Each structure stands twice: as C-alpha cells, then as structure tokens.
Amino acid sequence: MAIRPAEQLIHKAAWLYYAHGLRQDEVANQLNISRASVAMYLRKARETGIVNISTSTQLFTDDVMARRLEDAFGLDAVWIAPENAYLADPSTDIAVLAASVFLELVKKGDRIGVAWGRTVYTIADIMSYADLQDVTVVQLCGNLGAPYSYRPDQCTMEIARRLNAKGLNFYAPLVLSTEALAQGLRAEPVIRDQLAGIADCDLALYSVGAVDADSHLVKCGALSAAEMAALRDEGAAGVIAGQIIDAAGEVLDCSYNRRVISAELASLRAIGKRLMVVQEDTKFEPLLSAIAGGLCTHLVVGAHMAGRLLQHAGTATKKAS
C-alpha cells in the first residue's frame, strides 16, 4: 500500500467535502478520481478520525433530574439517558451517550485511565474515531486471561485505537494466588511505575461491578461464586477496577484484594475527572458505594437508575433530619 499518498488523498477529499462543502462529484474531478473513490475516502476519513462528527450531550445534562443528582451526591456532572424513550435497547443508549460524553471530556495531551468490564467494552465498541495522537490510554488493572472477549487489555487497546492514541498495557495478571507474589510483582519496576502513573491521569473511565455470581470476577474465574457470596457477607458492596469495595467505597480488607494488581483507590481519586458509567439497574448498591467512596465525579446512568438514586437521596436526608 502506498501509505502516504493514500493518506493525503483521504485528507484532501475530506477537506474539500467537509470544510469547503463541495459535493462528492466536485471533489472527484477536483482530484481526478471517481466519485465512488471519494465516497470510500470519506468513509475512511470518518473511520480514522480525520473528520470528527460529534453531537452535543447537553440535552442529557440539561435535565432537572441531572441537576438534582449533582446536588444530592456532590457530583461535577451527570448525564441521564432517557430510558425506552428512543430505542429498543436502552443499554446501547447509555453506552452511546457515555462514548459521546467521554469524547467530550478528553482533551489533547491527556492521559486516560481505563478499567474493564462489559460496559467499558461496549462503550469502546461503539465509540467513534478521533485523532488525538498525543493522548495516552493506560490500563487501570491487571489482566484476566479469560475466555471472554472483554479483557482489560482489550478495552484499553480498543479505546486507544479509536482515539489514534498510545495504549499502555499492564503486563500482569489481575489476581495472583498468593499475597506474597502479588506484593513482589507490585514492587517490580515496570509494574510499580505503571501503578504510580495512574494518579497522573486526567480522566478515568470505568463502571462498577455487582457482587454476585454474574460478576466478571466469577465468570473469569478470579473468584468462585461461593467466595463471592462469602465476601458479600463480609461487607463487599461492589467491584471497581477488579477490586472489591465496601459500602463506604473503601477497599475491603480481604485476601482477594491483597492478591490483586490494580490501581489504588487513592490513585483513582487523584484523577481529576472520573467518569463512571452504569448500565444495569442491578448495580444500584454498588454505584452508591462507589459514589460514597468518591470514586466518581462524572456519571452517566439511565433514567430509571437516576430515579432510584434520587429517591434514595431523598429518604437518606429524611432519615438524617
């Protein structure tokens, strides 16, 4: 493939079409190629992020409910995807919104931390392309070599690919069999540096996991369903970047957590913009815990979840008074 000329042509076509507003056939004879080629170049330009088409997410923050949620939980910004109003699949709607919000929050030169999960992978999957070469996407937690498609490193790499950014993967397993080994690995320079670099991120993207048999941790074999249930009894309330948190949003003191290679919650809290996206309604308590723990400054949820959160905030203040 003649790399340069093709790239140039794509760019020129995109420029004439999108910036100057010429029609495809005008572009075609301007560049002496067929209109069909122009159409193809333009598709490539969109897929490469040479042209960016973005839709304002205003509508979803300009909501009374969103404002009230921001106030009630002290969040910087909340976006609410109107459930079942638009489309068949509401979870797609949330992911599409989350992807737009994410792209709106990313700035040139940013360092972005990305965790892992079905939600994050869905977002990566539908995210449109952008051209942000000086952005770095870092993986927030170790890998899980699972039969599932949404592995931590895949989430990171896919998002990096979409942004034309640099991806920084974690070459360590998410969870080890002994605490000693985990400690040793964390002390390894390569790993230590990467863990230390997490606090320098400008933006984090993650979801929160539920503490049940459906959790990825169980499906991927990091924990058995029985262990999960036991942890739940010990106060586990949710999963963030592969770690178990309690209702207050702190790391639960348990063997599992001590064996995990992942971002420290303190590092996560040091990140300026922490974008949390929750699709499933079942993740109500985990989300509350994450918010309580200050793990989230920007939130994207569905309308139903938003309603439950507000209701909860209402009863909580009532109880308090």
Which residues fall within 8 angstroms of residue 45, CB to CB, at 6 or more apart? Answer: 10, 11, 13, 14, 18, 51
Q: Which is nearer to its own copies, 48 or 169 (CB)?
A: 48
Q: Which one-letter DSSP state was computed for residue 198?
A: G
Cα distances (angstroms) measured from residue 221 to each of 47, 144, 146, 235, 249: 36, 9, 8, 21, 24
Q: Is 294 helix (H, G, I), strand (E, B) or coil?
A: coil
Q: Which is nearer to DNA, 47 or 134 (CB)?
A: 47
Examine residue 55 and tell whether it contacts its own copies (CB under 8 A).
yes
Q: Which is nearer to DNA, 54 or 255 (CB)?
A: 54
Examine residue 220 and tell whether it contacts DNA (CB under 7 A).
no
Task: Name the one range near its own copies by CB under 8 A: 90-98, 200-208, 287-295, 300-308.
Answer: 90-98
Q: Which does 42 bind (CB under 5 to 8 A by kind): DNA, its own copies, none?
A: DNA
Examine residue 20 and tell whether it contacts its own copies (CB under 8 A).
yes
Residue 17-36 contact track with DNA, rule CB under 7 A, x = bound? x-----xxx-------xxxx
Of 40-99, binders to DNA (CB under 7 A) are 40, 42-43
Q: Which does 55 bind (CB under 5 to 8 A by kind): DNA, its own copies, none?
A: its own copies
**Joined tokens for residue 9:** 């042509």
Beta bridge partner(s), residue 64: none
Examine residue 11 and tell whether it contacts DNA (CB under 7 A).
no
Q: Which one-letter DSSP state was computed for residue 61?
A: H
Q: Which does 190 bind (CB under 5 to 8 A by kind): its own copies, DNA, none?
A: none
Q: Which is nearer to its own copies, 22 or 247 (CB)?
A: 22
- Determine the size of the site formed for DNA (CB under 7 A): 16
What is the torsion angle, in degrees rounded to the nearest 10, for the CA atoms of residue 311, residue 312, residue 313 and residue 314? 50
Which residues fall within 8 angstroms of residue 182, CB to CB, at 6 or more apart? Answer: 175, 176, 258, 259, 260, 261
Distance separating alpha carbons of residues 105 and 169, to the nearest angstrom? 22
Task: Fill in the amino acid letter for 77.
Answer: A
Residues binding DNA (CB under 7 A) = 1-2, 6, 17, 23-25, 33-37, 39-40, 42-43
Residues binding its own copies (CB under 8 A) = 8, 11-12, 14-16, 18-20, 30, 45, 49-56, 58-59, 86-87, 92-93, 96-97, 100, 107, 131
